[in-house]
Amino acid sequence: MKPRIQGLEKYKTETTKARIRLSSNELYLDLPQEVREEVAKELAFAPLYKYPDPDAKELKSAIASWLKLPSEEYLTLGNGSDELINYLCASLGTGTVSYPVPTFSMYEICAKNNLRKTAPLRLDENFELMQAPPDDSDLIFIARPNNPTGNLFLKETITALRARDRCIVIDEAYYPFCKESMIDEALKSEDILVLRTLSKIGLAGLRVGILIAPPEIIKLIDSVRLPFNVTMPSQIVAKIIISKYSYLIDNAVEIAIKERERIESYMKNMEGIKVFPSRANFILFKVLVGAKALHKELLKRGVLVRDFSENPYTPECLRVSVGRAVENDIFLEALDSSLRELV
Ligand code: PMP
């Protein structure tokens, strides 16, 4: 048997054990005891012997009101936005898939899984787009804010990419931390689509991704979507939190934004690193004394951050996720003492 796809690498994530894990851009959501009990009760009585609702109607309706969409016809759900990225590559266009580099690695993986040609678009030193997509590019992914760089591409930069027979997917996984959205554009036009996720707002374990687009596009994606892709427990828990307790998410996000500002200002004054400004819940920084060595020193002190130094577009760079205040304090202390050791 000859494999259809060759030479693809598995999605990389940090699996090293550590006391403080600041490597996956999760958001800590402290659910009060009463909310946990309510969720536990709903799950205890859920008819788990049955298949889940293939259209996740109740959850979609809760999400449509939460996001103020005209109706649930404007969205579909995935097992995380990763699954939706794969469907988009499978069903929108046949030409080259483009994305800025560096960016979230799943765009390339999913494009290649679907035997699409790929075009990485180079960024300049301020992480602004400096290369145009090839003419045959009919699908473009733009993470806004971008991961791992943390910057927000200008709306004008994105609208300049519009062309006939081309779809632009705006991945707003980190929207809550910058609050600049292109959902309004996505509701009006068929060539701009928006992705959101519950993963960066405290519910990564549920695996719920959201695609927002006009009903015709949603129907197309639903036609390739696996029927029971969002599990019953995920539908139940997400519906309760989104419809009744979204203020808990808003509070956690506000705390994370303040923590990001606090960490950023500390880090800016440290010798041996260069910090890139961030609009997300993580910070990318260049290590002037060796990223691998610093990564190791931090681990020795119990802190795991994400090593991006092997990525050709982020040489000597590490990325730290914004954690809880206590975790951030431990990180800052570990960073300070590690740098003093290395400088
Ligand atoms: N988009 C971006 C830009 C991301 O950084 C990530 C996760 N790191 C995702 C999507 C994946 O989201 P999900 O957990 O919903 O699959």
pLDDT at 15: 82
Contact status, residue 141 vs residue 153, Cβ threshold 8 Å: no
Ligand 1 pocket test, pick from 63, 106, 109, 311 with the greatest ligand atom count within 8 Å of Cβ, gives 106
Mean pLDDT for the chain overall: 96
Identical fold, 3-29+247-342 and 48-244: no
pLDDT at 16: 86
Ligand 1 pocket test, pick from 25, 27, 79, 82 with the greatest ligand atom count within 8 Å of Cβ, gives 82
Q: Is 82 in the pocket of ligand 1 (CB under 6 A)?
A: yes
Residues 6 or more apart from 254 whose CB is under 8 A from it?
A: none
The pLDDT tens digits for 172-216 are 999 999 999 999 999 999 999 999 999 999 999 999 999 999 999
pLDDT band (50, 70, 90) for residue 2: confident
- The domain locations on the chain are 3-29+247-342, 48-244
199 C-alpha to ligand 1 centroid (Å): 7
Q: Hey, whose CA ends up nearest to atom 1 of ligand 1?
A: 173
Ligand 1 pocket test, pick from 14, 77, 81 with the greatest ligand atom count within 8 Å of Cβ, gives 81
The pLDDT tens digits for 157-182 are 999 999 999 999 999 999 999 999 99
**Helix, strand, coil % over all residues of the chain, rounded to 5:** 40, 20, 40
Which CATH number is 3-29+247-342's, of 3.40.50.970, 2.40.110.10, 3.90.1150.10, 1.10.8.100? 3.90.1150.10
DSSP 221-274: HHHHS-TT-S-HHHHHHHHHHHHH-HHHHHHHHHHHHHHHHHHHHHHHT-TTEE
Distance, CA of 309 to chain centre: 20
Atom of ligand 1 nearest to the CA of 143: 3
Which residue blocks in the chain are alpha helix, DSSP H? Answer: 33-44, 57-66, 80-91, 106-113, 155-159, 183-188, 215-224, 232-244, 246-268, 291-300, 325-342
Contact status, residue 335 vs residue 287, Cβ threshold 8 Å: no
CATH architecture of 48-244: 3-Layer(aba) Sandwich (3.40)
Residue 286 — φ and ψ, nearest 5°? -95, 135
Average pLDDT of the residues in 304-331: 97
pLDDT band (50, 70, 90) for residue 50: very high
pLDDT band (50, 70, 90) for residue 6: confident
Q: Is 171 in the pocket of ligand 1 (CB under 6 A)?
A: yes
pLDDT band (50, 70, 90) for residue 8: confident
Burial 201-239 (b: 16+ CB within 10 A, else e): bbbbebbbbbbbbbbebbebbbeebeeebbbbbbbbbbb
Average pLDDT of the residues in 281-291: 97
78 C-alpha to ligand 1 centroid (Å): 12
Atom of ligand 1 nearest to the CA of 25: 8
pLDDT at 193: 98
pLDDT at 37: 98
Q: Is 83 in the pocket of ligand 1 (CB under 6 A)?
A: no
Average pLDDT of the residues in 224-251: 98
Alpha carbon distance 243, 217 (integer Å): 26
Average pLDDT of the residues in 48-66: 98
Residue 143 has pLDDT above 80, yes or no: yes
341 C-alpha to ligand 1 centroid (Å): 34
pLDDT at 1: 84
Residue 47 has pLDDT above 80, yes or no: yes
pLDDT at 343: 82
Q: Which pair of tokens denotes residue 21?
A: 């894990």
CB neighbours of residue 332 within 10 Å: 17
Distance, CA of 221 to chain centre: 20
Q: Is 199 in the pocket of ligand 1 (CB under 6 A)?
A: yes
pLDDT at 71: 97
pLDDT at 205: 97
Percent of the chain with pLDDT over 90: 94
The pLDDT tens digits for 62-93 are 999 999 999 999 999 999 999 999 999 999 99
The pLDDT tens digits for 112-135 are 999 999 999 999 999 999 999 999
pLDDT at 269: 95
Peptide bond into 145 cis (omega under 30): yes
Distance, CA of 207 to chain centre: 12
